[in-house]
Structure 1
Amino acid sequence: MIRACVRRSAFAPAALQRTALWRRCVSTHPPVPKGRSWMWVLPLSLAAGACYFVGAKYPPAAIPFLFSPYSPSMPQASYEEEEAHYHDIESALHKLPAVQELICRSYETPLATRLRETHGAKYAVPFADPKLADYVIQRPFASGDPAMLETLLTVGSLRGPHKFAAMPFVFSKTKGGAQRNGGWEGDGLAIVHFGKNMCGYRGVVHGGLLATVFDEALARTAFYGLPNRMGVTGKLELYYRHPVRAEDFYLVETRITENVGRKCFVSGTLLDAHSRKVLVEANAVFIEPRWAKYLSWIGGGNIRNILDE
């Protein structure tokens, strides 16, 4: 009836169109009864309140990008506060599930043992011979020359409270571990902690810093696959899957995918230390310089000994 009236509205007499009956006929929306419009106020108010509560409790990931574009600087801490911060991070590191899972399969270098016991983390590492273990626990640069460390980036300039508070903690697969479980010697798992002063946006770790971490972690694994365990970065690609939040631990898994002459191809993933969610993926190629085999002849550093420490 309504559609028919609307189709004939162009041909209806003007007098008929002015009548109340005709206006009701051509109307497609029945009038809302008076006094009922307030009934929508209550459910809308409840929905708005629920959205506000959920958003405050679990803020969306985009909030830091929209309202807090940069991370503020931290006040200068005293020596005692810095040492307490280092101790808290180091103690929490040894309690991570990933660390506890691999301890029972690992050999620990004397340097790693001393550093662990200095911070009061006491547990038994089962293997006294690295040839019998699947992994070697290493703490690179933990005993380096302070003057030399100051010139380095991640263990020098970026070392400190609310930055890299803990020295690198690395599980490196042994040759026996690779034979027993697959993979390559040198495939590794590095545990890192990002402080709040390492952000591009408040609470979100800088993407360039993640590239630096991958460059060093992948290089360490690639060195095991190169003839003289020394190389330079030929190519590095990163795929950012999710934001990486500051003030938390993360796992950097690295593995050799192919080894061809003076080239070593490696890949890696950055995982949440608790959920194991993949946050960043990386691929790289490291190339050994032609002169690397002559390095020891001219007084250069013994990279093999540094890695096997």
Structure 2
Amino acid sequence: MTVDQVVVEPASTEESILEEDLHSEETLEKQILTFPIYQSYIDLYQKFTSTNTKTLDIVERIYPNLTGATLSGPHKIAYRSQTLYFIDDYHFQYNEITDPDDRDNYSISFLQLGDALSGHKGIVHGGLLATLLDELTCRVGFLNFESKRGVTANLNVNYKKPTKVDSWVCIKCTVLKKTGRKCWVKGDVYLIDETKKALEDCELLTSCEVLIVEPKWVDQLKH
């Protein structure tokens, strides 16, 4: 047989279907339901919203946009949970936050990041993590403005450990301070350990602090 006659057999249809099934949203949803840490936050959310009902009125607007459409799908952001907001009803009075506060004001999001999001081989691109942190910190920050809108004024990201592709991560975003038209939010990316119940027991991969501003021309912003 000559070189011209060499035939490379494509992967079988059955193998291709099996590979795609492993990355399907349905399969990943079944997987996340087995994580103790996910169940722990679902239980906490149900308990929290039984006494802080304004959180239940939050409407997410993630489609279509960069992370909700362009970067979403098999091998990319293959799964994205509903963001769980823990915002004490007190904060929906849009009070200033100048001192450490014992009233909850944070969000939790679970994501599965696929192998098409790499920068270096096998490692999720740092720019993708920055994008997710920017978006998710802003979402919780905006809720502390009466207009529910704002823009990023400064984003400072610290990459502590590489985030490997095909990883489950949890992003926690916590409001630190709000004065007038400015709000500061901290964002943390944790690697999900399927055996743990608390984020504090998981690896911290990336963290950031974001300054969000409600501009005077806020009425021109559209969701």
Correspondence for 1:47: none
CA-CA distance at 1:160 after TM superposition: 1.1
Correspondence for 2:35: 96
- Which one has the bigger strand percentage? 2
TM-score by length of 1: 0.55
Correspondence for 2:102: 182
Q: Which amino acid aligns with 1:95?
A: T
Distance 1:271 1:232 in 2: 25
Correspondence for 1:247: 166
Q: Kindly indicate whether the alpha-carbon contact (under 8 Å) linking 1:106 and 1:133 is maintained by their aligned counterparts in 2.
A: no
**Residue ranges of structure 2 left out of the alignment (5+ in a row):** 1-15, 92-100, 194-200
Distance 1:289 1:139 in 2: 22
Larger radius of gyration: 1
Give the match's secondary structure for 2:115.
coil
Matched positions, count:
193
Identity %: 24
Label 1:81 to 1:242 Cα distance change in 2 as closer, same or farther (>3 A). Answer: closer
Distance 2:89 2:189 in 1: 25
Q: Kindly indicate whether the alpha-carbon contact (under 8 Å) linking 1:221 and 1:256 is maintained by their aligned counterparts in 2.
A: yes
**Residue ranges of structure 1 left out of the alignment (5+ in a row):** 1-76, 108-125, 304-309
Label 1:280 to 1:177 Cα distance change in 2 as closer, same or farther (>3 A). Answer: farther
CA-CA distance at 1:137 after TM superposition: 11
Q: Which amino acid aligns with 1:103?
A: I
CA-CA distance at 1:135 after TM superposition: 6.9
Give the match's secondary structure for 1:220.
helix
Q: Which amino acid aligns with 2:102?
A: G
Q: Cα deviation per residue 1:101-150 (whole Å; 9 max; x = unaligned)?
A: 1222324xxxxxxxxxxxxxxxxxx78x65457975989457x5xxxx2x
Correspondence for 2:192: 273
Q: Which amino acid aligns with 2:210?
A: A
Correspondence for 2:25: 86
Distance 1:291 1:130 in 2: 36
Q: Which amino acid aligns with 1:265?
A: W
Matched, 1:203 2:156: no
- Which one has the bigger helix percentage? 1
Correspondence for 1:164: 77
Q: Give the superposed CA RMSD.
A: 3.3
